[in-house]
């Protein structure tokens, strides 16, 4: 059900969970210092208990109550409010359920008028993961949440999220060096323009923190953000194969065969005669069943439309074919989400 800001504050104070808009995606929030309220988030999302939550505040002055701020963190506060999440060593006031037992706690100041107003009036931090059942597409409007949870979750409707991709999660290693744990619209290129060095982590994450159970950033699990229908991710130039085909499924199977990709989990015969949708970008009109994420191939526009379009497609088609974007700047985050949602990949 859609509720007002005042009702949301009251429910949060009562230890309940409500969905709240941010500039990135909608969050499923509870008061971060209330362990039993936070535990409801894990239940509702069916979230593994080893996946920690991000805490949200509205003012940097409040941060030191909850975490230890080191000198090297301070330069990064210039990017707040905004789509940046920073890890800190936590203080005891943050219950360990929030951080999944880790000593580190993620914080961010969101840039959204509704979320800020709630935080200001509440005067408490809000722990909030994306407001989707675990592993599913992050919601970027109130309707997606209602479709996921029906009337069991109350949501403050803030319209469409401006950014549409989850925040960039970083660990600050020194004043000028960070590690990106989850890609977002604050990119390596963006940080480089501030002379901040991003350590590339070419390992397939998740990384395990030394001496600690749990995953450093389970948002980096290989399978995540998956639509309900199988998603195929192809190298962008492969789109040409589909321009004149009468039978896209056959074309797809041919591509997979030529690239020696074994469809791992899908029963091909079950897909015969099923409808195929194309998630494309660029100035293309030449075939049917498409959603165009951005006619100009604008990466910001593609990000904004990505989850919403995938959500529309999972309702309309039996199989979704998507194409990698250029792998630079925000394109890295877009490819990351597509890749983690995809059942088959060719590139």
Q: Is 51 in the site for ligand TXA (CB under 6 A)?
A: yes
Number of residues that bind ligand TXA (CB under 6 A): 30
Q: Is 187 in the site for ligand TXA (CB under 6 A)?
A: no
Number of continuous H segments (helices) and E segments (strands) in the chain: 10, 16
Q: Which two tokens stand for residue 31?
A: 């008061």
Give the one residue of 24, 33, 51, 130 binding Mg ion; rule: CB under 5 A. Answer: 130
* Cα–Cα distance measured from residue 45 to residue 64, given in angstroms and rounded to the nearest whole number: 29
Region of residue 117 (phi > 0: left; psi between -120 and 50: alpha; otherwise: beta): alpha
CB of 239 to ligand TXA, least distance (A): 30
Q: Beta strands 67-68 and 126-127: pairing type?
A: unpaired
Q: Is 169 in the site for ligand TXA (CB under 6 A)?
A: yes
Q: How big is the chain, counted in residues?
A: 347
Q: Is 306 in the site for ligand TXA (CB under 6 A)?
A: no
Helix, strand, or coil (residue 48)? coil
Q: What angle do CA 164, 119, 47 make, to 5 degrees?
A: 55
Write out the binding residues for ligand TXA, residues 231-290 only, by CB under 6 A: none
Give the one residue of 139, 158, 164, 218 binding ligand TXA; rule: CB under 6 A. Answer: 218
Q: Which two tokens stand for residue 255?
A: 């591509």
Nearer to Mg ion, 255 or 333 (CB): 333
Provide the CA 339 distance to its chain's centre, in angstroms: 13
Q: Is 182 in the site for ligand TXA (CB under 6 A)?
A: yes
* Cα–Cα distance measured from residue 161 to residue 168, given in angstroms and rounded to the nearest whole number: 16
Nearer to ligand TXA, 48 or 282 (CB): 48
Encode burial over 16-40: b for 16+ CB neighbours within 10 A, e otherwise.
bbbbbbbbbbbbbbbbbbbbebbbe
Q: How far is CA 321 from CA 63, 102, 115, 332, in A?
A: 43, 38, 35, 18
Residue 320 touches which of Mg ion, ligand TXA, none (Cβ within 5-8 Å per kind): none
Give the one residue of 19, 31, 87, 255 binding ligand TXA; rule: CB under 6 A. Answer: 87
Nearer to Mg ion, 130 or 294 (CB): 130
Number of residues that bind Mg ion (CB under 5 A): 1
Nearer to ligand TXA, 53 or 302 (CB): 53
Nearer to ligand TXA, 137 or 279 (CB): 137
Give the one residue of 129, 158, 277, 341 binding ligand TXA; rule: CB under 6 A. Answer: 129
CB of 215 to ligand TXA, least distance (A): 7
Q: Nearest to Mg ion by Cβ — which residue? A: 130
Per CB under 6 A, residues contacting ligand TXA are: 22, 24-25, 27, 51-54, 83, 85, 87, 99, 102, 104-106, 108, 110, 128-130, 166-167, 169, 181-182, 216-219
């Amino acid at each position: 059900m859609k509720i007002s800001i005042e009702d949301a504050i009251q429910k949060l104070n009562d230890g309940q969970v409500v969905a709240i808009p941010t500039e990135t995606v909608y969050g499923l929030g509870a008061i971060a210092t209330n362990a039993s309220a936070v535990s409801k988030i894990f239940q509702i999302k069916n979230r593994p208990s080893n996946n920690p939550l991000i805490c949200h505040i509205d003012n940097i002055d409040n941060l030191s109550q909850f975490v230890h701020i080191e000198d090297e963190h301070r330069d990064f506060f210039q990017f707040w409010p905004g789509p940046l999440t920073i890890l800190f060593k936590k203080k005891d006031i943050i219950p360990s359920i929030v951080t999944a037992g880790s000593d580190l706690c993620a914080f961010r100041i969101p840039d959204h008028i509704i979320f800020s107003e709630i935080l200001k009036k509440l005067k408490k931090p809000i722990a909030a993961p994306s407001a989707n059942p675990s592993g599913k597409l992050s919601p970027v409007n109130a309707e997606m949440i209602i479709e996921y949870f029906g009337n069991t979750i109350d949501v403050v409707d803030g319209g469409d999220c401006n950014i549409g991709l989850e925040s960039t999660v970083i660990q600050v290693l020194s004043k000028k060096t960070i590690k990106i744990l989850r890609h977002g619209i604050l990119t390596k290129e963006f940080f480089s323009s501030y002379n901040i060095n991003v350590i590339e982590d070419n390992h397939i994450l998740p990384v395990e923190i030394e001496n600690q159970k749990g995953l450093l950033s389970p948002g980096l699990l290989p399978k995540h953000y998956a639509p309900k229908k199988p998603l195929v991710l192809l190298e962008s130039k492969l789109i040409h194969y589909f321009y004149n085909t009468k039978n896209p499924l056959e074309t797809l199977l041919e591509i997979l065969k030529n690239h020696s990709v074994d469809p791992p989990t899908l029963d091909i015969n079950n897909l015969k005669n099923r409808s195929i949708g194309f998630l494309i970008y660029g100035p293309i009109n030449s075939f049917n069943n498409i959603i165009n994420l951005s006619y100009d191939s604008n990466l910001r526009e593609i990000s904004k439309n990505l989850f919403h379009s995938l959500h529309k497609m999972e309702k309309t088609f039996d199989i979704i074919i998507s194409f990698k974007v250029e792998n630079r700047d925000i394109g890295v985050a877009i490819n990351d989400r597509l890749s983690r949602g995809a059942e088959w990949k060719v590139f």
